[in-house]
Amino acid sequence: MKQSRRFDILIWVLALVPLAAAVLIYPRLPQTIPTHWGFDGTADGYGPRESIFFTAALPVALQLLMAALPHLDPRGKSYSRFARPYRAMRVVLALFCIGLTGMQAAAAWPGAQVNTAGFLTAGMGLVLAAFGNYMPKIRPNFMCGIRTPWTLASENVWRKTHRMAGPFWVAGGIAMALGGLFARGAVLGAVTGVCCAALAVPVAASYFYFRAEQRAGK
């Protein structure tokens, strides 16, 4: 109980950090700030400086959703079987959102040289790698993990799929993070494409695991 309470305090402190920071920097922001960037990192969408609060509120919305999922999921009892990995994933998302708000604030200043495309790619890569580390520990549920018709139909297929997905996601996430830090242009696009393929492989594998299980059962 104490451990759960400490986690709740930690996660909500992390979730509220971007909002607190947005309140502090808001008076110093330009009237118009970038809200969207192209693949090359160039801002191609702008909005009023109040837009910073939308980004800053994102971690609160995500944490409310993730806190509610075990209660909404018909297989909610499964979450107790991977409680620590699930908490770790919530922390990873909260940290990513802190960085996202900081990036938008830094890029808002006229003349600022912020590699937004690289930052976002590297950040998403690190999130993917972190999630991949926890994939093998996730137990069957309807909301979290690789939820295909075949993994949901068989706990054995679920287990095999998530065990093989873990290394794919870690490797793809690391490649994506390195690409974000050091690659540009077409190379960065190719790295991102490879990572998307790494995400698709476990989905396809779940089908073949399921068919193999069916054939073995005949």
The 10s digit of each residue's pLDDT in 160-173 is: 999 999 999 998 89
Distance between CA atoms of residues 136 and 160, nearest Å: 8
> Which has the closest alpha carbon to 168: 193, 135, 138?
135
When mean pLDDT is compared across 82-91, 107-116, 132-141, the lowest value belongs to 107-116
Q: Give me the mean pLDDT over the 121-125 stretch.
A: 88
The beta strand positions in 38-192, using DSSP E, are: 43-48
Gap between the Cα atoms of 158 and 161, Å rounded = 5
Please tell me the pTM assigned to this model. Answer: 0.88
Residues sharing a CB contact under 8 Å with residue 49, sequence separation 6 or more, in sequence order: 26, 29, 30, 31, 32, 33, 108
Rounded Cα distance between 32 and 46, Å, is 7
**In the chain, where the domains are located:** 1-110, 115-218
Residue 108 DSSP one-character state: T
pLDDT at 128: 93
What tens digit of pLDDT does each residue of 36-67 get?
Answer: 877 666 777 888 999 999 999 999 999 999 99
Q: How confident is the model at residue 2 (pLDDT cuts 50, 70, 90)?
A: low
Q: For residues 203 and 181, what is the distance between their CA atoms, to the nearest angstrom? A: 28
DSSP letter at 28 equals G
What tokens does 159 get? 């287990």
- The phi, psi pair for 145, rounded to 5°, reads 110, -165
